[in-house]
Amino acid sequence: MPESPTLELRDITKSFGSVQALSDVDFEVRSGEVMALVGDNGAGKSTLIKTVAGIHAADHGEILFDGQPVHISSPKDAAKLGIEVVYQDLALCDNLDVVQNMYLGREAHDALQRLQEAVMEQKTSETLRSLRVTTIRSIRQSVATLSGGQRQSVAVARAVMWNSKVVILDEPTAALGVAQTEQVLTLVKRLAEQGLGVVLISHNLHDIFEVADRITVLRLGRNAGLYEREKTNQQEVVHAITAGAPTKVAGITTAETGAPA
C-alpha cells in the first residue's frame, strides 16, 4: 500500500466574486481509506468537491493525483483520472433499468453502434455482486421501482465500475431510513476494502464515526482540523465544525495575510 495519498489538494483557493469560498485548503485521500469531509453549511465542502470533479477550476492551488500534478478542467478529465462523484441527486434515469443506468453514456457497443446487452448485463451483475448489493431482485427492473438505498447502491456501483481510484460520495445517507443507511455505509466500507479512496461528505457524525478512517473539517472555507477517527471523539469534531480555528496541515506554511474570516 503506497503511503502517499492518491488524491492530494494543496492550497486550494476559490472565490466567487467577493465571496471567498475556499482559502488555502489542503485535502487528501489515500487508497483504501474512507476520508470524511465535514463542515457546516457554507463551509466549502461542495466547492472543494466541484474543484476535484472538474465543475469549476480553483483560482489558485495544486491538485496531485498519484503524486503527479494534474489539471482537471472538466468532468471528463476527472473521469479519465479515475475520480468519480456520486451527487446527492444520484443522476439516475428513472425510466431506465439498472443495467442501462450503470452504462449511461458509456454503453458497450460494436462498430455499428449496436448495444451489447449481454456484455453489459454480465458486467453489471458482476459489479453488484462484488459489492454484495444483493437486495435488487432483477437488474432489468427500472430504477423507479427501487428503494432509496438501492438507488444509492446503483449510483455508487456505477461510479466504481470504471476502474475508478477515488470515489466521492455527497451526502449518500441524507434521504435514507435507518436500515437503508446501514446498507449504504456497509457499501462505503467495502469500497475502501477494495482499495479505493473514498471521500464521504456528510452531516451525520454518527455515520462518519462508523465508517471513516480520517476526518477533515472545514469551517468558513478553511481547514479546521484533520482527525484520525480512533484518536478523536464526536465532541472534538463538533467543536471544530462550529468553532474551530483555522489550522494548516504541518509542513506547509503560507503567510496568511489578512483574509477576511
Partner 1 sequence: MTGDSAVEAPPAPLSADPEVESFGTRVWENIKGGNLGSWPVIIGLIGIVVVFSLTTENFFTAVNFNNIITQMTGTTMLAFGVVFVLLLGEIDLSIAYVSAVAGVVAAELQLPDSGHTLPGIWPIVVALLAVAVIGLVQGSFVALIGVPSFVVTLAGLLIWQGYVQKQLGAAGPIIIQSRWINYTAQYFFSKEAGWLMAALISALYVGGIVGGIVQRRRHRIPLRDPALIVLKMVGVPALAFGVVAICNHDRGVPLAGVLIVVFLVFWTYIAKRTTFGRHVYAVGGNAEAARRAGISVARIRIIVFMISSFMAGVGGIVLAARLSSVAPDQGGGTLLLDAISAAVIGGTSLFGGRGEVRSAVLGAAVIATIANGLFIHQFSNGVIFITTGCILLFAVTLDTLARRRQAKTGR
Per CB under 8 A, residues contacting partner 1 are: 75-76, 79, 87, 89-96, 100, 104-107, 109, 113-119, 121-122, 125, 128-129, 133-151, 175, 177, 179-180, 183
State the Cα–Cα distance between residues 164 and 191, nearest whole angstrom: 11
**Which residue lies nearer to partner 1 by CB, 110 or 230?**
110
Distance of CA 61 to the CA centre of its chain: 20
Tally of CB atoms within 10 A around 77? 14
Least gap, CB of 142 to partner 1 (angstroms)? 5
- Listing DSSP states for 128-153 in one string gives HHHTT----S-TTSBGGGS-HHHHHH
Distance of CA 218 to the CA centre of its chain: 15
What cell does 4 get?
Answer: 502517499
Least gap, CB of 136 to partner 1 (angstroms)? 6
State the Cα–Cα distance between residues 222 and 242, nearest whole angstrom: 12
**Which residue lies nearer to partner 1 by CB, 81 or 90?**
90
* DSSP-assigned beta bridge partners for residue 65: 7, 68
Least gap, CB of 172 to partner 1 (angstroms)? 14
Per the CB < 8 A criterion, the answer to whether 78 and 53 are in contact is yes
**Which residue lies nearer to partner 1 by CB, 129 or 206?**
129
**Which residue lies nearer to partner 1 by CB, 4 or 130?**
130
Least gap, CB of 101 to partner 1 (angstroms)? 8
DSSP reduced 3-state for 241: helix
Least gap, CB of 137 to partner 1 (angstroms)? 6
Least gap, CB of 23 to partner 1 (angstroms)? 28
Classify strands 60-65 and 7-16 as parallel, antiparallel or unpaired: antiparallel
**Which residue lies nearer to partner 1 by CB, 204 or 232?**
204
**Which residue lies nearer to partner 1 by CB, 53 or 224?**
53
Per the CB < 8 A criterion, the answer to whether 176 and 184 are in contact is yes
